[in-house]
Amino acid sequence: MSAFSLEGRTALVTGANTGIGQAIAVAMAEAGAEVIASGRRDCDETLEMMGRVSDKAGRSLILDFADPMAARDVFADQRIDILVNNAGIIRRDDAVDFSEADWDAVMDVNLKALFFTCQAFAKAALPRGRGKIVNIASLLSFQGGIRVPSYTASKHGVAGLTKLMANEWAAKGLTVNAIAPGYIETNNTEALRADPDRSKAILDRIPAGRWGRPEDIAQTAVFLAAPASDYINGAVLNVDGGWLAR
């Protein structure tokens, strides 16, 4: 079997109804995994796309991480080998005006839910001595950004938790890594792409000269879920067209 194959594995991808999560679910299905596509609403479009690249029946699961403990019972009664924590939200406002409600909403989904979903997965996977966690971080795991204080704080937290969990679980057979996407064409960046000045400033800094596509992240996620990456642990891998190198 190829070191990049996911045959015989079951993967849960959160936030899989659109964008990066959808692309990851499809790529993992194409690599041979049985994929559970989860979202706060149905993932019918994702399942249809998965069906075009795989003869395995994908499944859909409603998980709304407005409740950070939404996935606490997901792993106990079924074997899931790969967890991709992609679900996330963003709120924009000047730091001087940012509301407590927007702060709490973002931190609950992006950080608290991620940690407790990883914890629930680990409780099931550690006794088996094998499992793969791929968290979706951000360039704002390393930078400050503007007008997204809770998003920046949450993504710094994702990077830190990824390293902490890798430290605790690596010797027990679990790998925990993260991907830090650059500026990708998704709903989260729609406001930036619609602003000519911001869009130009962003493109001028990206050495690759283009916005990223969800598929750029998806294939990296397949790699981090596959046997090829078994000795990679605690890494936060930038997939940004060279943004951070500039």
**Would you please indicate which residues are annotated as catalytic (active-site) residues?**
151
Would you say how long the chain is, in residues? 246
- Please, are residues 34 and 61 in contact by the beta-carbon 8 Å criterion? no
| Whole-number Cα distances in Å, 159 to 125, 150, 191 | 21, 14, 25
Number of C-alpha atoms within 13 angstroms, CB side, residue 51?
A: 9
Helices (H) and strands (E) in the chain, counts: 8, 7
What strands lie across the sheet with 82-85, from one edge to the other?
59-62, 34-39, 10-13, 82-85, 131-136, 174-181, 236-239
Question: What 3-state class would DSSP assign to 246?
Answer: coil
